[in-house]
């Protein structure tokens, strides 16, 4: 019996597939935060930390100590350690732990400005009545990238000895010794453990020395000495100095070239508090949305710093959109960025003499006029004209650009990418560049050739000149400094905006300061510059740090909150021209969410008159008001604090600004002001009330009799005229000399009570009662669970259709794992309707020549077994679709979609954003991160959804009442599981692991040697599939089969992952960085139903269907689910259709999902044919695995099972060795011949399925089938590529042809027939030919549409432009005006529109809002056209026609 088993096993050896997998989910560095410091000694704290680590390491002391990274012992208590996720969760449950969070990387938020703000140039800066000589006793700490100590900005000439209160030291390191510090730079430390735990890249200067320039720039802006004759390559010439030039500087280098990690930031805070700094400046912060206060390093560090009397100044961030502000805690001051009145402009003169000005830092000189061309006319190689218009790397043809000025476009917002565009133009032989970028048109960039940035309108005029001029020319002149530009200041477009996403009652940013084109000290390690001009809120932050130092020098006993109040209440909201501050790029009038209290005024801030002071106890009470309980509060403060006297709302904190959110009728707030001006003084209240709000101040007069006297006053806010959104005003306490101003921001909580309504029209009625708008007191119309591409697309479509919705996302942040990457034609057509999203994707994706191939090889640098080109020339000719397919990673798509929803007014917010009771009204247009659906209950008015979330370490719940619940929450859908809906189909087709990694080295190699999208790699050491997401950036995902339990994920580390990648690539990669590792199981399943709970709960995307990753059907099918669903929900919510219309979603989409599942399985099996041909049949490998798990597994220990499995796979892989797999070996030659046949016959994995992508058709649902019953059934899937054949059958997508709009006799506007379907309104499209019978049908459609309260647009399709003019349709369709005349744009030998549709020109097509055909008449419509149109609309909308 034993020999028989051996023979079977040996047989299986020869056919087993592949993989030697050794990797794991690596342990990562976590911060364990344990609140305030107690009286324990340092040794005891360290002993306790090791004890906790020993517990989670199973008693292994050595491993526990090895995992320890830092202990925080001075300003607060805690430690950092390398932990697995499971270990981190265990520690989070231990007594005394407030929070445990991962070591997240923070971004750096990257001096005439002081003159602009009114400070004198001399260092003494004696200001009338306010001596600032005490500056040298003020110590500013900067947590940044270090410092260049030799810069003259940090000279200690004539400075007195170091203050005795200083307890810090000068840490030596690379190119930095004790003598690098002096009486100006009194301390320097560096922190690298958190960085080294996460990054593999080498660091320059392992010391406090600055290698990037950022830290030197911020330090000199805040407190640099006066340096004369400073300039940037001759620009901005003059003296440079910081705000407090005699203040001391201490640097804490926690940031390296790639960013700053939490572990190191907290260590810097801990030391700075101990060292004795007065002010800490941080030009860095988290991405938006920010996490909870005590799961955020900057919030934790600044909280404990403020308790020790240290003021913390931070930047608000550079994300620019509404609600993107970060560094949100009230115990720090947060700064936005503005311009000054200094610009750096380059003149652009066109050949016709027209002169424009652009922004630049380029000093290069252009000799005379040169030819000018748009970059789109110089496309090279694989790049389309549209792609080359953005001057992407290698996209320009040097023959066309040599010696010319090139006009480029820009979509991003980083200065680096703009600089690179000038390098691209220079490399292609261009001599100049004009860059069109409206967003940051005032951002000066040091271009490498004569170049300038202009706004969109100027760009259009320049392009118009080029298009209308033969041999157009232009000349770009060197940059020059311009002083006195207006308006100034302006809020920069990149400066992050409010409202506060964590606690809306606290205004952020607090103030704004200069952050655009700021000249300051630099690190010569970068471009050998001693001074540099850069922009960002990073530059604005140290301006306020300098002002805070001046105030501290004049008022050394003031608290951090008093200093903050002085800065805020003396800021101005007016520009130098006396008008309101405006916001770039569109020049709109600013509001407090843009600039906080306003633009800072250093001189006025020294004498604020009154301050809104707050003590540490006030911040404790604030924490209670936002949900922290006694237990958490005591852990944080380590004292006996309680929440017994909590504020009613966070609005009650004694803050210098006043915000009331969710105002119902009236709300009163008390504030306390402290007199810091003249002992005897009187202030009178002046109010500018927000529109629709009445403000009452009691008392209106404040009479002070002594210095530091405190007086309370009450602000009562009352609604007079309810209005949507935030409203802005101000409160000013004024006397003859002083104005103390606070912003007033109010948001009214609107309630709408509507009743259910029966849809009734002239001739028909429904059998269902429908809730109109879903706004019945606290009911949200639509709640979407899952904020992936499907959920985001659905939210955009619904919002554009006027339906209110909100999204829940269980993760706290959006995934950066590439995931899906192929977007098919139909999805791209949907994206064309989303504010030109398709065009943006095409501009950002790699050129098609870099990804159109699948390559089969022995290694990435080894022999090629075969390759398949999946993109045919006709795929790019826009014959069957107005847009081509795209290769674009899902996380990048998510980012673009997120930008669109934010532009529509959505807020991305964490649990703290929505405070109050668990049964809370959740408003529209929120994306609630960190919220997980845990219960679904039907009510008589809709669906009650239970939601759980973590807040301050506690698991809390709230209820959300909605009319419709959509589950787009992925393959593991909680919504589906809670509804008890089963999945049907094939499970566990293959277990895989995805390794996300980056290597520019590998990317450049493949780009030059063998560009492709998928690489199937078979060699004797390893087998895997590599997905090249972006060769230019070197971003990849490696997919490898996985066979548990013998291959245990927890047994391997990331180093083995790297070794596996080296084996598959066949070369060492110097810059390999493994980012993420995820397990994945491949299924082919469809939900048994898509709609449940009386048509109120709906599944979409992966929640409804899961496909193998073969053909890209997963994400695309989900996006098309959303497209099908949105208009139906809108018709229901608006009371036009009954709830049964949602049933048609399942009727239509489920058959498509089943078809795509079958097609994906066939394509997956085709993919497996290649390894099978090589003797590596995956089905045999799976059989081997099953044998080991059953028969062998019953007699072998687990360790031996793994040895057996690895041995089998090793023998199997031997079949792809060079000695076996070659034409000289009979077996190898046979297998290679079989492989070539598979490729030649198209029987391997396919990428494109045009017939299925564009030709899918709904057989029944919200449509009217042909009356003659000739509707063709869809062909069965073959797994082979088939071309798309246009169809006008009901349920099919409207065919695409190009048409010309006939607005005027000379109109040249060309568009697709798909563009005739409105993307942002509930409108049907009726396509007819210009004849009398068809016009009659159109008038009947207009009349009936009014009865059904729907919109219809008529398209009159002309085969050629009418010779008699365009008045025919107008006269025939009077009095209706919603029609367009279009002319076919036919190519030679092409069929006409009606021939394509296989109809006569007397027929008609009715198209739904989603672009699918609802009904057609192949020929003339006979009989009563009104009655027929009533029947059609009744069937499509599911409304009973009582006349029928």
Query: What residues are annotated to the active site?
Result: 144, 214, 538
Contact 221, 518 (CB under 8 A): yes
| Nearest Cα residue to 110 out of 555, 416, 460 | 416
Q: How far apart are CA 1392 and CA 1385, in angstroms?
A: 9
Name the DSSP class of 850. Answer: G
**Token pair in block for residue 1232:** 């290679």
Q: Are strands 1105-1106 and 1097-1099 parallel, antiparallel or unpaired?
A: unpaired
Give exposure, 1030-1050, as e/b (b: 16+ Cβ within 10 Å). Answer: bbeebbbbbbbbbbeebbeee
How many beta carbons lie within 10 A of that of residue 875, not counting itself? Answer: 18
The separation between CA 1127 and the C-alpha centre of its own chain, rounded to angstroms, equals 26
The separation between CA 188 and the C-alpha centre of its own chain, rounded to angstroms, equals 36
How many beta carbons lie within 10 A of that of residue 1156, not counting itself? Answer: 25
| Nearest Cα residue to 657 out of 743, 562, 729, 561 | 743
**Three-class SS state of 548:** helix
- Which residue has 């020319």 as its token pair? 473
Q: Is the dihedral of CA 133, 138, 139, 142 positive or negative?
A: negative
DSSP letters spanning 359-418:
E--------S-EEEEEGGGGB-TT--HHHHTTT-TT-B-HHHHTTSEEEEE--S--HHHH
Three-class DSSP labels, 212-224: CCHHHHHHHHHHC
Give the H or E element holding residue 1252: helix 1250-1255
**Residues whose CB falls within 8 Å of the CB of residue 946, separated by 6 or more in sequence, listed in order:** 933, 934, 935, 936, 937, 957, 958, 959
- Which residue has 């992508």 as its token pair? 1253
Q: How far apart are CA 1223 and CA 78, in angstroms?
A: 65
**Token pair in block for residue 305:** 């710093």
- Determine the number of helices (DSSP H) and then strands (DSSP E) in the chain: 36, 67
How many beta carbons lie within 10 A of that of residue 1001, not counting itself? Answer: 16
Report residue 1334: phi and psi, to 5°.
-70, -35
**Three-class SS state of 877:** coil
Q: How far apart are CA 1026 and CA 1065, in angstroms?
A: 10
Is the preceding peptide bond at 1045 cis, omega within 30 degrees of 0? Answer: yes
**Residues whose CB falls within 8 Å of the CB of residue 901, separated by 6 or more in sequence, listed in order:** 792, 795, 796, 799, 925, 927
Q: How far apart are CA 301 and CA 296, in angstroms?
A: 9
CA dihedral 122, 123, 124, 130 (to 10 degrees): 90
**Residues whose CB falls within 8 Å of the CB of residue 807, separated by 6 or more in sequence, listed in order:** 783, 784, 785, 786, 787, 791, 792, 795, 906, 926, 927, 928
């Amino acid at each position: 019996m034993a020999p028989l088993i051996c023979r079977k096993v040996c047989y299986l050896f020869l056919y087993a597939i592949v993989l030697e997998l050794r990797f794991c989910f690596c342990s990562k560095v976590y911060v364990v935060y344990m609140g305030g410091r107690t009286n324990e000694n340092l040794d005891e704290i360290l002993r306790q930390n090791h004890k906790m680590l020993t517990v989670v390491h199973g008693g292994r002391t050595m491993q526990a100590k090895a995992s320890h990274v830092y202990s925080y012992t001075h300003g607060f208590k805690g430690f950092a350690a390398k932990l697995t996720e499971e270990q981190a969760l265990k520690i989070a449950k231990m007594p005394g732990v407030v929070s445990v969070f991962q070591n997240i990387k923070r971004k750096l938020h990257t001096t005439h400005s002081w003159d602009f703000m009114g400070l004198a140039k001399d260092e003494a800066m004696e200001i009338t009545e306010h001596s600032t000589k005490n500056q040298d006793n003020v110590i500013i700490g900067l947590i940044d990238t270090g410092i260049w100590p030799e810069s003259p900005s940090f000279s200690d000439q004539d400075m007195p000895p170091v203050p005795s209160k200083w307890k810090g030291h000068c840490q030596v390191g690379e190119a930095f010794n004790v003598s690098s510090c002096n009486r100006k730079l009194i301390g320097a430390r560096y922190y690298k453990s958190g960085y080294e735990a996460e990054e593999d890249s080498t660091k320059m200067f392992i010391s406090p020395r600055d290698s990037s320039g950022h830290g030197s720039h911020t330090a000199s802006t805040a407190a640099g000495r006066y340096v004369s004759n400073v300039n940037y390559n001759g620009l901005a010439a003059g003296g440079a100095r910081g705000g407090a030039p005699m203040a001391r500087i201490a640097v804490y280098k926690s940031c390296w070239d790639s960013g700053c990690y939490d572990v190191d930031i907290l260590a810097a805070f801990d030391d700075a508090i101990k060292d004795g700094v007065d002010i800490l400046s941080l030009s860095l912060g988290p991405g938006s949305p920010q996490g909870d206060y005590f799961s955020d390093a900057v919030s934790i560090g600044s909280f404990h710093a403020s308790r020790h009397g240290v003021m913390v100044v931070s930047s608000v961030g550079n994300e620019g959109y509404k609600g993107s502000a970060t560094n949100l805690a009230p115990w720090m001051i947060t700064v936005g960025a503005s311009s000054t009145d200094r610009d750096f402009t380059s003149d652009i003169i066109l050949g016709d003499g027209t002169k424009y000005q652009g922004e630049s830092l380029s000093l290069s000189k252009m000799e005379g006029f040169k030819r000018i061309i748009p970059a789109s006319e110089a496309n090279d190689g694989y790049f389309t004209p549209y792609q080359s218009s953005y001057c992407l790397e290698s996209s320009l043809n040097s023959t066309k650009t040599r010696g010319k000025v090139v006009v480029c476009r820009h979509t991003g917002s980083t200065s680096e990418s703009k600089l690179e565009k000038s390098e691209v133009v220079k490399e292609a032989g261009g001599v100049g560049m004009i860059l069109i970028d409206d967003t940051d048109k005032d951002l000066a960039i040091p271009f490498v050739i004569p170049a300038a940035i202009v706004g969109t309108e100027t760009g259009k005029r320049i392009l118009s000149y080029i298009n209308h001029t033969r041999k157009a020319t232009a000349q770009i002149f060197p940059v020059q400094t311009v002083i006195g530009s207006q308006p100034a200041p302006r809020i920069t477009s990149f400066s992050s905006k409010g409202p506060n996403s964590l606690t809306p009652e606290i205004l952020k940013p607090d103030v704004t300061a200069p952050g655009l084109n700021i000249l300051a000290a630099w690190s010569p390690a970068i471009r050998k510059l001693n001074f540099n001009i850069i922009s960002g809120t990073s530059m604005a932050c140290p301006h306020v740090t300098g002002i805070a130092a001046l105030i501290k020098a004049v008022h050394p006993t003031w608290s951090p909150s008093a200093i903050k109040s002085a800065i805020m209440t003396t800021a101005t909201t007016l520009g130098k021209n006396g008008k309101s501050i405006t916001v770039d790029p569109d020049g709109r009038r600013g509001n407090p969410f843009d600039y906080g209290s306003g633009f800072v005024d250093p001189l006025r801030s020294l004498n604020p008159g009154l301050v809104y002071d707050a003590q540490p106890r006030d911040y404790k009470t604030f924490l209670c008001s936002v949900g922290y309980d006694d237990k958490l509060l005591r852990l944080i403060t380590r004292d006996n604090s309680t929440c017994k006297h909590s504020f009613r709302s966070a609005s009650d904190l004694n803050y210098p600004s006043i915000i009331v959110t969710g105002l119902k009728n009236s709300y009163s707030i008390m504030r306390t002001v402290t007199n810091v001006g003249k002992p005897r003084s009187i202030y009178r209240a002046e109010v500018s009330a927000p529109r629709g709000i009445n403000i009452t101040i009691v008392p209106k007069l404040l009479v002070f009799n002594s210095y530091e006297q405190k007086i309370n006053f009450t602000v009562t806010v009352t609604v007079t005229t309810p209005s949507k959104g935030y409203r802005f005003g101000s409160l000013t306490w004024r006397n003859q000399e002083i104005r103390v101003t606070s912003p007033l921001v109010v948001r009214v909580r609107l309630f709408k009570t509507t009743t259910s309504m029966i849809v009734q029209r002239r001739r028909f009625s429904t059998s269902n009662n429908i809730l109109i708008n879903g706004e019945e007191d606290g009911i949200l119309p639509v709640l979407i669970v899952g904020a992936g591409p499907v959920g985001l697309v659905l939210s955009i479509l619904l919002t554009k259709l006027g339906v209110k919705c909100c999204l829940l996302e269980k993760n706290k942040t959006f995934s950066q794992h590439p995931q899906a990457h192929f977007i098919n034609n139909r999805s791209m057509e949907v994206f064309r309707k989303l504010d030109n999203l398709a065009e943006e994707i095409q501009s950002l994706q790699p050129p098609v020549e870099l990804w159109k191939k699948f390559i089969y090889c022995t290694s990435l640098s080894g022999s090629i077994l075969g390759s398949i080109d999946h993109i045919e020339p006709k795929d790019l000719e826009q014959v069957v679709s107005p847009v081509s397919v795209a290769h674009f990673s899902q996380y990048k798509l998510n980012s673009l979609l997120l930008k669109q929803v934010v532009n529509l007014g959505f807020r991305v917010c964490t649990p703290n954003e929505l405070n109050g009771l668990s049964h809370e009204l959740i408003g529209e247009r929120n994306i609630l991160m960190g919220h997980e659906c845990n219960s679904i209950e039907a009510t008589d008015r809709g669906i009650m959804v239970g939601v759980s979330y973590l807040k301050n370490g506690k698991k809390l719940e709230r209820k959300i009442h909605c009319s419709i619940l959509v589950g787009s929450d992925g393959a593991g859908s909680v919504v589906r599981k809670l509804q008890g809906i089963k999945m049907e189909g094939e499970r566990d087709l293959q277990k895989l692991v995805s390794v996300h990694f980056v290597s520019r080295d590998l990317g450049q190699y493949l780009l030059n040697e063998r560009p492709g999208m998928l690489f199937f790699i078979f060699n004797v050491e390893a087998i895997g599939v590599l997905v090249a997401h972006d060769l230019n950036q070197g971003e990849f995902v490696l997919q490898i089969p996985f066979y548990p339990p013998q291959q245990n994920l927890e047994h391997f580390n990331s180093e083995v992952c790297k070794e596996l990648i080296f084996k598959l690539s066949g070369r060492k990669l110097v810059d390999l960085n493994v980012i993420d590792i995820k397990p994945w199981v491949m299924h082919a399943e469809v939900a048994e139903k898509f709609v449940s709970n009386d048509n109120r709960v709906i599944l979409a995307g992966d929640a409804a269907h899961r496909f193998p990753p073969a053909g890209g059907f997963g994400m695309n099918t989900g996006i098309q689910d959303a497209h099908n669903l949105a208009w139906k929900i809108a018709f229901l919510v608006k009371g036009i259709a009954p709830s049964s219309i949602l049933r048609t979603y399942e009727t239509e989409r489920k058959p498509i999902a089943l078809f795509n599942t079958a097609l994906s399985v066939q394509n997956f099996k085709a993919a497996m044919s290649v390894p099978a041909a090589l003797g590596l049949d995956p089905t045999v490998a799976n059989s081997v695995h099953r044998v080991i798990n059953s028969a062998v597994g019953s007699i072998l220990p687990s360790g031996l099972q793994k040895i057996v499995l690895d041995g089998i796979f090793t023998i199997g892989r031997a079949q792809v060795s060079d000695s076996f797999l070659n034409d000289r070996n009979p077996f190898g030659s046979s297998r290679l011949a079989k492989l070539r046949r598979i490729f030649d016959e198209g029987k391997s994995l396919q990428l494109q399925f045009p017939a299925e992508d564009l030709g899918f058709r709904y057989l029944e649902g919200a449509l009217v089938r042909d009356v003659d019953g000739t509707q063709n059934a869809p062909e069965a899937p073959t797994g082979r590529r088939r071309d798309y054949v246009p169809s006008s059958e009901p349920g099919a997508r409207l065919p695409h042809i190009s048409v010309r709009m006939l607005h005027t006799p000379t109109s040249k506007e060309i568009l697709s027939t798909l563009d005739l379907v409105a993307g942002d309104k509930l409108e049907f499209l009726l396509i007819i030919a210009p004849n009398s019978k068809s016009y009659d049908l159109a008038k009947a459609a207009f009349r009936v549409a009014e009865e059904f309260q729907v919109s219809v647009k008529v398209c009159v399709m002309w085969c050629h432009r009418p010779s008699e003019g365009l008045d025919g349709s107008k006269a025939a369709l009077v009095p209706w005006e919603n029609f367009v005349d279009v002319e076919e744009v036919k190519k030679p030998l092409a069929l006409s529109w009606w021939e394509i549709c296989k109809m006569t020109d007397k027929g008609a097509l009715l198209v739904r809002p989603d672009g699918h055909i609802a009904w057609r008449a192949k020929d003339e419509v006979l009989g009563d056209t009104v009655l027929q149109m009533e029947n059609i609309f009744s069937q499509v909308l599911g409304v009973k026609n009582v006349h029928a």
